[in-house]
Amino acid sequence: MKRVALITGASRGLGAMLARLLARRQFDLVLNARGQSDLERLASDVRDEGVIVIARHGDVTEAATRERLIDSATELGGLDLLVNNASELGGLAPLAELHLDRFERALRVNVVAQLALTQLALPLLARQRGLVVNISSDAAQGGYAGWGAYGASKAAFDLVGRTLAAEVKDRGVAVVTVDPGDMRTRMHQEAFPNEDISDRPLPDVTRPFWEWLLEQDALTITGARFRAQNEEAPWACPEPSRGAVPA
């Protein structure tokens, strides 16, 4: 029986690399991104692996988009893997000057919409003892000047993932957070519009991590936060889950 994965932010960069990797591992796929042409082109490419691919373009902050994604996964027979990869920079500016509507947009895309999609996906994931992967960033922990909106949203997303892992483990669902590290992607170029980022590696640099992750018993690592470009791999010293009730 084939496994099914749903990836948001799938049309390029890390999301596209993961789609190709999972297709080679014979996952059927539900792919989402805002840009229809790039998404359809990717879907056509990965179908060559002999898998079923449903491409659903749309903004993940919209309830109708999320519902279509879950309906598509149901159509394919369930859901084994959800990759919450859609992301918004939110405006690179000092917090004292940040337009708050940009901050709110970052929070909606990077936290609220991803949690809303995960909520809808949980019944399907529970049936398959599935895995949720939340894509984070070192900006969640760095306190980098100018990156406050993005970093704060990713820090919130980290805590959402860690908390959710503690709450859904007894349903057989695992949740991990992954910081893929600096990569040569369009989003990274948008963050550094006047810089040459050709020295950054392509998303393929993270492939060994994903190959490792897909072989794990997910419930034994649930709640962990991984650095995909960790030089001590495989995959030493993930940041531990803290599931205790606060005093």
Looking at the annotation, which residues are catalytic? Answer: 150
Distances (CA, A) of 95 to 105, 149, 166, 238: 15, 7, 32, 30
The token duo for 5 is: 């994965």
Strand pairing class (27-33; 53-57): parallel
Q: What is the DSSP string of 230-245?
A: -TTTTT--PBPP--PP
The token duo for 238 is: 């993930």
The kind and range of the H/E element at 6 are strand 3-7
Give Cα 26 to chain centroid, integer Å: 19
CB-hemisphere CA count at 13 Å for 184?
10
